[in-house]
Structure 1
């Protein structure tokens, strides 16, 4: 159990911080630059996944290779890479296989490879803004 000290009471510590307005202003100017840096990292990673997928996909007619697309969302801070057209339904068969057709995944391995690189891409872009 803690003991209480009797006697004189301590006065509260007072402190003044100068330059908060300047700091707030600097941070407000920095925010859009950081968002743009994040977009650049997302775009670079998306393009890398698209290219790796194109290089790894099984080629019959070349349609799946040519139709890999990137769809950006949330102002470019999120992206989906893959096949969007209903005519490309068979990409799932190539990616996961069936009882008769062996899987030859292209998108999954490309995503996994880029997952490790994305953090580094983002760090590089943010450091570029902060320097």
Structure 2
């Protein structure tokens, strides 16, 4: 899981200022605001880190393993996360992240999904994994 969260923060170094919308928001449940997620996606919380590069707001969600496929399909349909999760070492993860620009507000978000550490390396075994996590990051300052 450590590599999953490390990957989330790689975006801070890869983004360019051209991905920015001029407005910003406060920390919150971004998915509910953007695209009505299914109830199986649970909002865990949001963290603001104003002293870090990009002043990120990071919303964290979790979904039970048995519901992970539906969450993956939701992210594809509603947010354009077309990359499917792959098993790498000890976690399921999307290689890279998806940039989503909200049509209503013009705000941009980076979205990733991955599992907790697991030995289950087949998609058919996802129901044996406790939780998968979704991060939605909004950077408030250009890099």
When normalised by structure 1's length, the TM-score is: 0.30
The structure carrying a bigger helix percent of its residues is 1
RCO higher in structure (CA 8 A, sep ≥6): 2
- Structure with more of its chain in strand, by fraction: 2
